[in-house]
Amino acid sequence: MTSAHTIVFDLDGTLVDTAPDLITALNYVLDREGLPPVPMASARNMIGAGARKLIERGLEAEGRAVTPADMDRMTADFIAYYADHIAVESRPFEGLEAALDHFSEQGHRLAVCTNKLEWLSKRLLDQLDLSRRFAAICGADTFGVQKPDPTIFRETVARAGGAVKASIMVGDAGTDVGVARRAGVPVIGVSFGYTDVPIAELKPDRLIHHMRDLPAAASSLMSP
């Protein structure tokens, strides 16, 4: 029997397929600027570094640059729209809840460590009835740092009541692999998320293609 671990999840592209609602919000902002929408397929890999970066990438796709003041306004518009439409089409990835059940039954702690704002993360997870499953839900504004800064990971684990030496990161992108490496913990990559660099190229300790494979992958990384 392995000791209790803390399984720390990224949110967008790892726990939940949030792309439809995020890209809808992005295109709402672009439309207000008189710009054409970004196609869903190409926009998925723009996600993962927060709202401001998503808008910047959307503008770059159209060869546009804006002033810092305009970017502040557009980011505020994005967040306001997104908050009101946060779970229209967003859904947990298939097999997620069964994996979470398995970890809980084994006595492991669960936490969320995301570069999404904390209040938006909690609103999304509340609407999907997932918040109750996590001992901590921490975002880019919770501790004043973002992934891959290891502080956000360490503080998330502490808030969940766990120990860093007995924790595992699960994510879909370079920031997740980076935060795990900096925190000195193993990382499981998921291949179905959002990343401009294929997760396999970032060499996570384990790579899964479906949430059904997560319990076995995590178990293989746990020490007794």
The residues assigned a catalytic role are 10
Token code pair at residue 52:
């401001």
Which residues are annotated binding-site positions for Mg(2+)?
10, 12, 172
SS3 track for the chain:
CCCCCEEEECCECCCEECHHHHHHHHHHHHHHCCCCCCCHHHHHHHCCCCHHHHHHHHHHHCCCCCCHHHHHHHHHHHHHHHHHCCCCCCEECCCHHHHHHHHHHCCCEEEEECCCCHHHHHHHHHHCCCHHHCCEEECCCCCCCCCCCHHHHHHHHHHCCCCHHHEEEEECCHHHHHHHHHHCCCEEEECCCCCCCCHHHHCCCEEECCHHHHHHHHHHHCCC
Which residues are annotated binding-site positions?
10, 12, 172
Please answer whether residues 191 and 200 qualify as being in contact, where contact means their C-beta atoms are separated by less than 8 angstroms. Answer: yes
